[in-house]
Amino acid sequence: MKNHQTELTENEELCDLYRKKAEELVSQMTIEELADQTLNSAPPIERLNIKGYDWWNEGLHGVARAGTATVLPQAIGLAAAFDEDLMEQVADAVSTEGRAKFNMQQKYGDVGRYKGLTFWAPNINIFRDPRWGRGHETYGEDPYLTARLGIRYIKGLQGHDAHYLKSAACVKHFAVHSGPEGLRHSFNAEVTKKDLYETYLSAFHACIKEAKPEAVMGAYNRVNGEPCCGSKTLLTDILRNEWHFKGHVVSDCFALRDFYQHHMVTKDAVESAALAMNNGCDLNCGHMYLHLSEAVSRGMVSESRLRAAVTNLYTTRLKLGMEQDKELPDNPYDKIPYSVVDSVEMREFNESVSEKTFVLLKNNGILPLNREKLRTIAVIGPNADSRRALVGNYEGTASRYITISEGIQDYVGDSVRVLVSEGCDLYKENWKKNRIAEVREMAEMSDVVILCLGLDAGIEGEQGDAGNDFASGDKPDLKLPGEQNQILEAALDSGKPVVVLLLSGSALAVNTAQERAAAVMQCWYPGTQGGRAAARILFGEVSPQGHLPVTFYKSTEELPEFTDYSMKNRTYRYMKQEALYPFGYGLTYTSFSYDNMECGAGRQTFQKMKAGEKIQLPVSVRVCNTGNFDCAETVQVYVKALCDGSPNPQLKGFGKVFLKAGEEKQVTVWLSEEAFELYDENGQIYFTDEGYTVYIGGSQPDTRSRTLTGTIPLRQNLWSEVVNNT
């Protein structure tokens, strides 16, 4: 997608020029002015012609909290598309609207919060436990998938101009953050070095190395005793010294006050500000850095460290073109007009993205529906006509929301009668407006029941944002909340075919639906065009093509304690039991066959890898669409190290290929040496002499995926005989 001979993030000479200019500007600031500039709401410095700027802006799946914007599917849904190119296109759309809105706001002198270009996205934490309320902000449970999608989202946000950033990306929350939400301000996540490097830091490292995001945000919690936003281990030893990160670090919002109020690692606000600043946190989302002037005067923070922090911040502002420089060409992003926001093209793009995120989990042949054979459809459930279930959290404001029931009604028109009922409340039990009788009657009257169940961001999300009373945004278990299971049973007992649509940002244990429903489809929070996309899929205009970026477990009882951050028995990489629906799983309306696997890798390749050299290993396969629907297939490559104690087969490569019915193509997925890396107990990389097995197919090679799909990925052993015969 690069159309330029270079891009700013790769132009070290220009980056050095920006830093030099930032140093010159910062050298003119007083200590008090410097301290003020380390706050997210940085005030203007009129004598230096510096405008005020608020660094706090959100762009997880669209420009958020800043008025009208395109609201795309939530991040977890985007991950289900398993599509790197699509992820960059999404981020490019977000940054286009972000620039357009910024240009408009600057025109009228509007510089408040959520009106800038420094987007605190993407969230690349690992969704290690399905109870975590913020998991739908992430790209799922797998470090490799998270890394690849995060890299492309960053590139889409920051753009490919040779002189300017389109916007600035920020990877968060560094690190080891994935609930519980109710304990996050005081919690100490204890992790081994093996889990730290093998799982929790992996995506951060890849994103910083390959995509060069401008910012990293710390997490609320402690890791092995150190608060993340003031952690020498994380921010200095690993991020700066080991990974050579050159951008700026920002605290999570109001996290620094937790140092002395909840973590109890400092005695007051001044000590807290000093700890964070000295260990590498440049920007405070909050007010604690108001105490930096005192910290400097008391010798707790050096003036040089404070100037270095502000230099980091102003380097980003210069890269964004906020301070015009006569030595550089005009900023092309300044010309993006407001008319692109919420345009027809953006709405069409949004719908096309949404269609790629739906994951078909079960289908007994009922889908796709034939409109010509239907007279009455019942669309039932608390998410049937819910706008909130379309958008997830950290969302913008759309000009129109197409709910599931609206999308179906618009699609069938007057030719089919559509009956709609909320059925029950989303999560309240013994609700006075319970409509079980209405559910039964509508099901009896209808040819098919579309049952819209699940969650919304009001009951799963960030502490303080989610409105549930029982878990501060987290889920207490994996069951359908409230009386949803009752209306599911009522619909199933009608004897009519029931299609269950799950709108949620996380896995639910829908065992009854799997056993008895005609079809089950995971729709996530599909964006404001989600109802239209759902209708097109239900009626076969397009085939579902998504795959699960998380494991769906059978029950909460299978999970370790929520507060246990060991990866043992967590996610598909380490679990021993069989899943309800496995990571990587997803059905379509067609079928695909795989053959002609080629993976040429001899002794020389293995020895190069062990010697520390870079490799690019092609894994090739012929894929044929053997069904009757045109559809995209996600080709997945998994690697299993053939030694004791290694993880289950892990995703290490994937690619999308669109095939018309009957069409076949040879697809190649490239594996680097990182696909074969293992970590010892000290977090050090090694390669096993026992060899590896490489799998390629439309799913992971676990037994449950084989049962559900009826297919077995192809496999090839690498290097075991070569090594053993050496």
pLDDT tens, 546-586?
Answer: 999 999 999 999 999 999 999 999 999 999 999 999 999 99
List active site positions: 252
Q: Are residues 527 and 353 in contact, defined by beta-carbon separation less than 8 angstroms?
A: yes
Q: Which residues of 418-454 are buried (b: 16+ CB within 10 A; e: fewer)?
A: bbbbbbbbbbeeeeeebbeebbeebbebbebbbbbbb
* Whole-angstrom distance, CA of residue 669 vs CA of residue 599: 10
* Residues 273 and 386 placed together within one structural domain of the fold: no
Question: Which residue among 509, 542, 557 closes a domain?
Answer: 557
**Within a domain: residue 577?**
no
DSSP 240: I
CATH value at residue 48: 3.20.20.300
Cβ atoms within 10 A of the Cβ of 344, count?
7
Q: 450: domain CATH number?
A: 3.40.50.1700
Would you say the C-alpha torsion 508, 511, 512, 514 has a positive or negative sign? positive
Residues 294 and 374 in one domain: no
Q: Do residues 668 and 618 lie in contact, with contact meaning Cβ atoms separated by under 8 Å?
A: yes
Task: Show which of 508, 532, 557 is a domain's final residue.
Answer: 557
- How many Å is the Cα radius of gyration of the chain? 26
Give the whole-angstrom CA distance, residue 521 versus residue 552. Answer: 13
Closest to 550 (Cα-Cα) out of 506, 504, 501: 506
Predicted confidence at residue 469, as pLDDT, reads 59
User: Using CA atoms, how far apart are residues 691 and 713, in angstroms rounded to an integer?
Assistant: 19
- Local structure of 366: helix, strand or coil: coil
**Residues 297, 333: one domain?**
yes
First to last CA, the chain: 43
Q: Which of 312, 339, 366 is the last residue of a domain?
A: 339
Whichever domain contains 596, its CATH number is: 2.60.40.10
Does some domain include residue 567? no
Could you tell me which residues are beta bridge partners of residue 394? none
The answer on 325 and 367 residing in a single domain is no
Asked, for residue 583, whether it belongs to a domain, the answer is no
Q: Are residues 262 and 143 in the same domain?
A: yes
How many independent structural domains does the chain possess? 3
Residue 289 lies in a domain: yes
- Sequence-distant (≥ 6) Cβ neighbours of residue 374 within 8 angstroms: 412, 416, 447, 448
State CA 617 to chain mean position distance: 27
Residues 603 and 529 both lie in one domain = no
Q: Are residues 220 and 182 in the same domain?
A: yes
Contacts of 216 (CB under 8 A, 6+ apart): 170, 171, 172, 174, 204, 208, 239, 245, 247, 248, 249, 250
| Distances 587 to 75, 154, 448, 544, 632 between C-alpha atoms, Å | 21, 29, 21, 7, 11
Structure tokens of 317?
């502002």
562: in domain: no
* CB burial readout 531-563, b (16+ within 10 A) else e: bbbbbbbbbeebbbbbbbbbbbbbeeebbeebe
What is the reported pLDDT for 327? Answer: 79
507 within 8 A of 475, measured Cβ to Cβ: no
Q: Quote the Cα angle for 251-256-257, to 5°.
A: 150
Segments of the chain scoring below 50 in pLDDT: 1-4, 722-726
* Residue tagged 């980091």 (tokens): 312
Using a 10 angstrom Cβ sphere, with 0-12 exposed, 13-18 middle and 19 or more buried, the burial of residue 503 is buried
Any domain includes 156: yes
Same domain membership, residue 388 and residue 328: no
Give the Cα separation of 157 and 93 in Å (integer).
8
Same domain, 693 and 630: yes
Query: Residue 114 domain-assigned?
Result: yes
* Residue 413 sits in the same domain as residue 328: no
Between strands 678-679 and 664-672, the pairing is unpaired
The answer on 328 and 200 residing in a single domain is: yes
Tell me which DSSP letter residue 267 carries: S
Cα–Cα distance for residue pair 508/480, rounded to 1 Å: 7
Parent domain of 640: 592-724
295 and 324, same domain (yes or no): yes
Please report whether residue 321 resides in a domain: yes
